[in-house]
Structure 1
Amino acid sequence: MGERPLMILVGIGYEPHRGYLLRSIAATTDVWLLDHEPVSWEAPYVVGGTAVDIRDGAELMAAATRVADGRTVDGILCWDELKMANTAAVAQYLGLPGVAPDVIDRCRDKHRTRAALAAAGVPQPRSVAVSSLADATAAAADIGYPVVLKPRALGASMGVTKVDRAEDLPAAYEHTRAQHVDQARYYELGVLVEEYASGPEFSVDSAVVDGATTPLFLARKTSGFAPYFEETGHLVDGADPLFTDPELRAVLSAAHDALGFDSGMTHTELRLTPRGWSVIEVNCRLGGDLVPYLGLESTGIDAGRIAAAIACGRPPTLTPTHNTVTAIRFLYPPAPTTVGEIRINPTALPRGALLARPLADPGTTLAPPPEGHVWGRYAMVAVTAPTPAACTPLLDAAEAAISLVPA
């Protein structure tokens, strides 16, 4: 157990969003990267890499099997939802730790998620899967406005739309139904019409070991561009009083039990409604939008290393070492814009700034929702402060230090 384990990592994703995880994992674990392109910036943090179409289950299986030929592979990890099911199939074939592909599908398929949670009595919004505007209209009338339309097979709030009035439903349904990304499954019953859960929105990243769910940190979410639910920022307070709420912990455990998720990392989104906690969705992966980075800075809990340890069947370290407050904000252009240059004035960044990074290259055309989505962001800033309230002026100052110059 003292030797460094060897773990296959399926896909790295966008370096500004996921690079910090690889750098952290590499401190304790040997990593072999399977990704679309040959190893480049990742080279200092991996022991090897294979360029392969990781969207293709057969090719991924063949590449992983070649890595395991003559080597002891201890685990496999993926944090891209669209690659999770194929990764789980590889883990199952190679006898590595992890949940079954069907469990991944139960989390990925939001209709199956709702059914499993409903059967277990887990609090959540009422939800109806529909295949037409007529069915959506009937479901919305039965549930009562406002309702939320949500694509069954997508993530990151893509296509999620609040509808306040019946006359707004046709355009909203068309928008939600039209959303698609490569490799996402197509469902005839492809749109969920859901009860609107009022109240602030949160996410909790959890580690699940031998069926026991341990929450690691809680993030308070900021959304914008109504009636859409674009995630524009997050805040993690290492001493957040809600994090220890017994009701929250009971709901989290019940949700994981209902879905059969007993090994790995999850990112659960919830709202705190007047009736209590309500589960919005359970994602079978590490949180995105640098939420694990905020968790590390706020608590000392390293979700990347925890994910690698669980993937390799080793006991993770779940104990916080400190508590402070960190927050991140994503910047969008006010209208469709082609990027000429993104300028960052380091001398104007406030004390407490953790990062300020561009997210778009010159020549890229960006747009805010609904035309754009997470790919409509041109930069991000993160700060740390003693209190949640102190983060807002620091984020404002950091944002002011960044300029988007149109082409």
Structure 2
Amino acid sequence: MTPTGRPLVLLVGIVFEGYRSYLLDGVGSVADVWLLAEAEPAPSVAEKLVGHTLVDVFDIPALVAAAQEVAGRRRVTGVLSWDELKMSGTAHIARALGLPGVAPDVVDRCRDKHRTRTALAVAGVPQPASEVVSSAEEAGAAADRIGYPVVLKPRDLGASMGVIRVDSARDLAAGYAHTRAARVGPVPYRSDGVLVEEYVGGPEVSVDSWVLDGRTHPLFTARKTTGYPPYFEETGHVVDGRGPGEDDPELHRVVTAAHEALGFDHGMTHVELRRARDGWRVIEVNCRLGGDLIPMLGQAATGVDAGAVATLLACGLEPDPRPDRGRVAAVRFLYPDAPCEVDRVEVDPDRLPAGIELATGLPRPGTTISPPPEGHVWGRYALLMAVSDTPEGCAAALDAAQPAVVLHARTRSVETGSAQGLANDYIKP
């Protein structure tokens, strides 16, 4: 134990503090936190830490050495992260320090979508047909075998970046170029870095679960809203905590089978699925908590704090999450009509209806944002979160709140920036 008598966990990075730092409250409710990050934490984050170390979190030997330095001075009980790109480093720390968690190869098997597809196929887990390709010509041949429409997606990225639906051979080359161009700094370039997949229609959901000793325990299910076709931009999520309607045994059976196929036996997961005519199909498996405020929605709808659950797991302890409410929570993301340079985002609290729990602008002044295809997650200018007794109540509150958020900007035709703050303009007391 630490001098406070509580477990000490290492947290690897935060990223987009407004989307993630709220999880620190759940982590801090059960453990002390030492942050390993590439930049100084904001004051609002630093006050929730017992310490921090500056380190290049993508330099795994340096990251592990930083963790070992902390462990040489204090007893470290666990390590966790909720950022996709930092999960590999987190797994390497767990292995080096003998802490609970999955092996780095399991993380890679989840992050590499081609490896995911291969493992699921061997185990017979339902999923879209998929082929990995390294050229537009190979993509065209794969699409002919699979049958149009197809979905092209990057092998190693997330947040629907670079994902596009292609309806005919005429559009295949342009679709391939879009997917191939999607890049994120620390993610290595692969010559065979594009997947061509069967398009699965039907509703899309995500299931956040905790896994201990190979047993899967679903926490909550979020229904996803996407927009800007032929792209799959995630424009909102709804978590319904009212009970039986969200308790789908077949859905949970498929999620469990995916974990078993990938060898994921300890930690948190965020599994995305679509409902085909013949049942659920796994779209991807993420070895982390859900993003886009989904854990916040889950807590508002069910009372379960996913951050606390993740921390207990990281420390090798068994959580006992028990819902204490049955409500509905939803988030909606707002995008500009065209690329623009942000001056400011104004939120008028007096115009917000009952049921709105959070309304905030996202980009810093001077940032250039855009709707897809130029912008994705970083193209948003605001978010709204509502809580109600029904999905319809959430939708009505979000519709009524949207005019209360005003984007002041100048039209631009340049590449988007990625700098985001999150000034909380309105948080319900």
Taking structure 1 as the reference length, the TM-score comes to 0.98
**Shift in Å, 1:103:** 0.0
Match among 140, 145, 149 for residue 137 of structure 1: 140
Q: Contact 1:338/1:365 (CA < 8 Å) preserved in 2? A: yes
Aligned position for 1:12: 14
CA apart distance, 1:59 = 1.2
- State the match for 2:150 in structure 1: 147
Q: CA RMSD in A?
A: 1.2
| Residue 40 of structure 1, CA deviation | 2.9
Task: Verify the 8 A CA contact 2:110 2:287 in the aligned structure 1.
Answer: yes
Among candidates 300, 306, 310, match of residue 307 of structure 1? 310
Identity %, equivalent residues = 59
Give yes or no for the alignment of 1:334 onto 2:314: no
Task: Decide whether the 8 Å contact of 1:232 with 1:331 is kept in 2.
Answer: yes
Q: Does the 8 A contact of 1:341 with 1:404 survive in 2?
A: yes
Q: Deviations over 1:35-64 (max 9, x none)?
A: 111233212211001111111111101111
Unaligned runs of 5+ in 1: none
- Does the Cα contact within 8 Å between 1:328 and 1:381 map onto a contact in 2? yes
Q: Distance in 1 between matches of 2:26 and 2:381?
A: 25
Equivalent-residue separation in structure 1 for 2:224 and 2:167 (angstroms): 22
Distance across 2 between alignment mates of 1:241 and 1:333: 38
What is the match of residue 355 of structure 1? 358
Choose which of 28, 32, 35 in structure 2 pairs with 1:33.
35
Opposite residue 407 of structure 2, the aligned amino acid is L
Runs of 4 or more, structure 1, over 3 Å off, are: none
Contact 1:202 1:219 in 2 (8 A): yes
| Distance (whole Å) between structure 2 residues aligned to residue 376 and residue 146 of structure 1 | 26
Please say which of residues 53-62 and 240-249 is displaced more in the overlay: 240-249
Q: Is the 8 A contact 1:98 1:263 kept in 2?
A: yes
Separation in 1, partners of 2:261, 2:246: 21
Q: CA deviation at 1:240?
A: 5.3
What are the equivalent positions in structure 2 for 1:200-279 lying under 5 Å apart?
Answer: 200-239=203-242, 241-279=244-282
Question: SS in structure 1 opposite 2:256?
Answer: helix
Q: How does 1:172-187 map to 2 (within 5 A)?
A: 172-187=175-190
Give the letter for the 2:38 counterpart.
H
**Structure 2 spans left out of the alignment, 5+ residues:** 411-429
Query: Contact 1:18/1:290 (CA < 8 Å) preserved in 2?
Result: yes
Aligned equivalent of 1:198: 201
Three-state SS of the structure 1 residue aligned to 2:73 is coil
Is the CA contact 1:39–1:50 (under 8 Å) kept in the aligned structure 2?
no
Quick one: distance in 1 between partners of 2:87 and 2:264?
A: 13
Look up the match of 2:289. Answer: 286
Partner of 2:60: 57
SS at match of 2:353: coil
Distance 1:24 1:254 in 2: 29
Q: Secondary structure at the match of 1:66?
A: helix
Distance 2:41 2:112 in 1: 32
SS in 2 for 1:150: strand
- Contact (CA 8 Å) 2:127, 2:281: kept in 1 or not? yes
Deviation per residue, 1:178-200 (Å, 9 max, x gap)? 11101112222110000001101
With over 3 angstroms needed to count, the CA separation of the structure-2 counterparts of 1:382 and 1:190, relative to structure 1, is same
The alignment's TM-score, normalised by the length of structure 2, stands at 0.93
1:97 to 97, 100, 120: 100
CA offset at residue 160 of structure 1?
0.6
Q: 1 CA distance for matches of 2:376 and 2:290?
A: 17
Hey, what's the Cα distance between the residues in 2 that align with 1:228 and 1:303?
A: 29
1:403 is paired with a residue whose SS is: strand
